[in-house]
Chain A
Amino acid sequence: MSQHESVNNGNSFPEIKEIVTKVSVNKTPAMMILQAIQFTYGYVAPEMLERVTELTGIPSSTLYSIVTFYAQFRLEPIGDNLIQVCHGTACHLAGAERITESMVMETGAQAGKTSEDRLFTVDKVACLGCCSMGPVITLNGEVHGYVTPEKVQKVIKERRECCVANGCKDHDHTAGKEATVSE
C-alpha cells in the first residue's frame, strides 16, 4: 500500500479528476469513467482505480470487477501500434488464422500481447463488422480489408520503419489524447 500512497497523492493522473467531474453527471457512471480513463491513458492501472475510488467512493472491488469482466479494458499499457485482427466468422472462413500467424511472425508480438520492443500490440477480436472484406485488420483504428500475409509484411515493415525514424509521435493510437492531456 505504501508504494501506492506515494503515487496516489492526488497529483498523479490529474486527468482522472477532470474525467470524474465531467462523467459523473450521468446516472451510474462507473463504467463510463473507466472507459474515459482507458481512452486517455490507453489502459487502466490499479493505481488509477484507487484514484477513482478516492474521488467517487465507488469501492475499488466494484471497479475491478468491471475492468476484468469486459474485454475492452486493458490492465497493461499497449505498444505504440495497436493491431486488431478480426476473427469474426467471415474472416475466419477467409483465413484469419493465417493472418494472425503472419502478424505474430512480423511483429514479434504473440496474439493478445505486446512485442518486446513495445512497437506493436496484436489483438484477436471478435468481429469488426466489415464481413464482406475479410480478412480484416485494423491498424491504429484504420480498417484494412482483403488482407494477405504479404500485405501484413508490407504494412508492418512500413510501420516499423516509420516508428523507428519518427519516434512514433505522428500516429499515436490514442487519437484525441493531446486534447485531453494538454494543460
Chain B
Amino acid sequence: MSSQYKVIVGMGSCGIAAGAKKVYDSLQDTLNDGSAKLVIGGCMGMCFAEPLVEVAADGKRVIYGRLTSENAAEIIAKHIKTGQPVIESVIWSEGLDSADANYFNKQQRILLKNCGVVDPESIDSYMSHDGYKALEKALKTMTPEQVIKEVEISGLRGRGGGGFPTHIKWTLAGKSAGPDKYIICNADEGDPGAFMDRSVLESDPHRVMEGMLLAGYAIGASEGYFYARAEYPLAIKRLRMAIEQANQKGYLGKNILGTGFNFQLFIREGAGAFVCGEETALIMSIEGKRGMPRTRPPFPAEKGLWGKPTNINNVETYANVPAIIFHGGAYFAQYGTESSKGTKVFALAGKIARGGLIEVPMGITLNNVVFDIGGGLQGGGKLKAVQTGGPSGGCIPAELCDTPIDYDSLKKIGAIMGSGGLLIMDESACMVDVAKFFLTFTQDESCGKCTFCRAGTKQMLRILERISEGKGKSGDIELLEDLATKIVQGSLCGLGQSAPNPVLTTIKYFRHEYEAHINDKICPAKKCKAFISYEIDADKCKSCSKCAKGCPTKAITGAKKEPYVIDKAACIRCGLCMSACKFDAVLVTTGSGRGE
C-alpha cells in the first residue's frame, strides 16, 4: 500500500553519531504497516538538534529534532495518524513559528537545497529533484564556451578559500592543448572546524559529480578524480555508490546521453596530510608521491596531473555549477555583493546555541549569522571572537562582527573567507591558547620544503608556548610579528603564507591578552595551566568524592561530611575534578587571587 507520507531520517555522520540509526530502526518497526514511506536522507544542517526526522506530505515539510529511539516512533506515528504536527517537538516547518525557526528562515539555501531532502544513496531521488538536468542542457544545447560564459556571468569564485574566479581557471584549462586533460575535485577538507564538504558529499554526492561533469565538458576533459579525506568514510562510501549508479544510468562512461561526450570519475583517498589541500601537493599525492607543493607557474591549468592540463576546484565550487547552468548565471549573481556573488556554505560551530551547516548570501554580517541564525551563544555567554578560515584564517573580535561576509571585507580586517569554518568563541577562550593551537597544527603539518615555514613556525610555536607557560619576555610579541612577516614572504604555498594569520590577528585585536600573560602572569580566560589554580568551595562541596576519584594524581582528599581539599602542590591542573563535580564546587582562579 502506498502512502502520501514520506519520513526522512537525517543520516549524515553527525546524525548517526547522535543516534539517528537507532531512531531509524525504531521507526522501521512502527511504520512497517505501510502508513508512510521511510527513507534515509543526508545532513539537514541542524546539528544542534540531531537526530532529526522530517515528515513530508503534499509538499509540506515538518522537521522534528532532538528525538530519541524511545520517543521518535510515538511522535511520528501521532503526526501521521492525526495529520497534524506534534508542535512541541517541531524544530522547523514552513509558516510555523517555532523557537528555532529563524535558523532556517534566515538562510538562503541553493547549494544545500537537496541536503536532507534527497536520498544520497539513490540517483533516482537526485533526478527527481532536477538532477542531471543541467548536464543534459549543457551537452545538448550549449557549447563548452557557453558553459564557461554562464559561470563567468554568475561571478562564482573558488570556494576552497582562495576566491579565484572559477571561469578564468576553466578558460585557461580549456585553452591548453592536448587530448588528455583532467578534472580534480579537492575534497581534502583539512581545516579543523570545517565540515561543509563532508556534509555535501554525504548528502548530495551527485550534485558535486554533475558539477565535475560540466567542468569536464567545458574544458574538454574525460577523466575526473575525487581526492577525498580518508577521515570521511561515509562520504567516500556514498561517492562510490553514486559513481556506480551514474555509470549504470549513462551519466558517466562513454557517449553520455548520446552526445559523444565521454567522462569517467575515480576516487583517490588522502592519507592524512593537511598540505595536500594545496593544489600542487594534492596532485603529487594522486601521483603517489609525498604531497609536497611545487612552484607555480606552470599552473595546473597548463601542467597538472601527470603533466597534463588539469582543472582543480573544491567540492563547494563544483556543487554550485549545476544550479548556475540550469537557472543561468544571472540567477546565482542576484545574491551576494558586487565582488562576491552568490551564497556561501558555512560550518557553524564552537560555543554557538544553534550550530550546524548553513548557507547564506554573501554580504550578510557575522552578527547576523551568530545571533539571527545561530541564536546567540551557548548558555547565554558573551561573544568574544569569531574565527574564520581555520588555521589559515583569523580571529575577528566581537566589535568587528558587523563586517559583511565577503572575500574582500574579511581580507581587509586580516581574516580570510577560507573554506567556510566559523568558530564562535565566548569569554572562556584564551586567545594565546587559540593561536598556540593553530600554530601547533600548522607547524606539525608543514611539509618541510621551505625553511621559513618549517623552522619559522616551530620558533613561533616555541615563543607561544613560552608565553603560555609563564616564561614570556618583553619583546616576544614583536618577535612573533617579525617572524610572521618573514614566514609569509618566504613560503611557497598557502600553508606557510597563511600560517601566521591566527597569531597576527590575535595580536592585532587581543594584544592586551598577550601582555597579561607576559607582564602580569595572568590568563584572563583562566585556560593556561601555568596561571591558574583549582580549589574547592567548602560551602558548595557535598563530599560526594567524585572529584577525588577522578583525580589522576590523587591530589584531592576529604572525608564524609567534610569538604574536600585540593593539594595544590600535587595538582597538575587538568581540570578533571571540575568536570566531575555536579555542584559547581570546584573553582578556578588566576592572578593575585590564585593560590600557589
Q: Digit string of B557-582 for contact with A (CB within 8 Å is 1, else 0)?
A: 00000000000000000111001100
* Distance, CA A87 to CA B391, complexed state (A): 13
| In the assembled complex, A141 has its CB within 8 A of some CB on chain B | yes
Task: Scan residues 149-200 of chain B and give those whose CB is less than 8 A from a CB of chain A.
Answer: 189-195, 198
* Distance, CA A72 to CA B272, complexed state (A): 5
Least CB distance from A148 to B in Å reads 6
Q: Are A28 and B287 in contact (CB under 8 A)?
A: yes
| In the assembled complex, A53 has its CB within 8 A of some CB on chain B | no
B-side contacts of A62, CB under 8 Å: 289
Task: Scan residues 141-157 of chain A and give those whose CB is less than 8 A from a CB of chain B.
Answer: 141-145, 148-150, 153
* Distance, CA A134 to CA B268, complexed state (A): 28
| In the assembled complex, A19 has its CB within 8 A of some CB on chain B | no
| In the assembled complex, B350 has its CB within 8 A of some CB on chain A | yes
Q: Looking at the complex, which one of A70, A105, A133 makes contact with B18 (CB distance below 8 Å)?
A: A133
| In the assembled complex, B16 has its CB within 8 A of some CB on chain A | yes
Q: Across the interface, name the chain A residue whose C-beta is closest to B17.
A: A143
| In the assembled complex, B147 has its CB within 8 A of some CB on chain A | no
| In the assembled complex, A77 has its CB within 8 A of some CB on chain B | no
Binds A, one of B91-99, B130-138, B225-233, B478-486: B225-233
Q: Looking at the complex, which one of A32, A73, A129, A144 makes contact with B195 (CB distance below 8 Å)?
A: A129
* Distance, CA A65 to CA B306, complexed state (A): 19
* Distance, CA A98 to CA B588, complexed state (A): 15
Interface residue tally of chain A, by bracket?
Answer: 35 or more
Interface residue tally of chain B, by bracket?
Answer: 35 or more
Least CB distance from B584 to A in Å reads 15
Given A72-B230, A93-B423, A145-B18, do A150 and B579 touch, yes or no (CB 8 Å)?
Answer: yes
Q: Are A129 and B198 in contact (CB under 8 A)?
A: yes
Q: Are A95 and B579 in contact (CB under 8 A)?
A: yes
Q: Are A126 and B17 in contact (CB under 8 A)?
A: no
* Distance, CA A128 to CA B580, complexed state (A): 25
Q: Are A127 and B193 in contact (CB under 8 A)?
A: yes
Q: Digit string of B29-60 for contact with A (CB within 8 Å is 1, else 0)?
A: 00000000000000000011010000000000
Least CB distance from B232 to A in Å reads 7
Interface centre among A26, A126, A129, A142 (most CB of B within 10 A): A129
Q: Across the interface, name the chain A residue whose C-beta is closest to B440.
A: A87
B-side contacts of A21, CB under 8 Å: none
Q: List 13 A-B contacts (CB under 8 A).
A: A31-B271, A32-B268, A32-B288, A69-B291, A73-B271, A88-B193, A89-B387, A93-B351, A95-B575, A102-B550, A127-B190, A129-B189, A141-B233
